[in-house]
Amino acid sequence: MKSHTEYMWFNTNNKKEIVHITDDVRDILQKSGIKEGFALVSAMHITAAVYVNDLEDGLIDDIWEWLEVLAPFRKDYRHHQTGETNGDAHLKNLIIHHQVMLPVTEGDLDLGPWQRVFYAEFDGQRRKRVVVKIIGE
């Protein structure tokens, strides 16, 4: 078994943004030379997330609306008493989660027909990273 690790860096233009990263993860997989195994894609920040879903603008808008209902920005979060203003971003991370594990089969991501990989930024406009770790043979 071997492994390959690379980091992807993000500095979004907006405070909240969703970035399609499937092709970037595939490029890292190709460099790894691994044909069978798994790809872990993990946001290394507690105000960002990685998820798998459909690349469709209406759905992405629906996801944002859903997240705002479940974890809206509010001034009264106890977290804000520490001087921060991103309590909602931490909660959104818990809802979406920070990482995904993707199967690798015959040297490619083994995704369903509509599945794509996304980086979700909830407190952006600063430099953050995602680790991509490919393990297998």
Residue 92: beta bridge partners? none
Output the tens digit of pLDDT for each of the chain's 137 residues. 999 999 999 999 999 999 999 999 999 999 999 999 999 999 999 999 999 999 999 999 999 999 999 999 999 999 999 999 999 999 999 999 999 999 999 999 999 999 999 999 999 999 999 999 999 99
Contact (Cβ atoms closer than 8 angstroms) between residue 127 and residue 18: no
Contact (Cβ atoms closer than 8 angstroms) between residue 1 and residue 118: no
All domains in the chain, ordered by first residue: 2-136 (2.60.120.460)
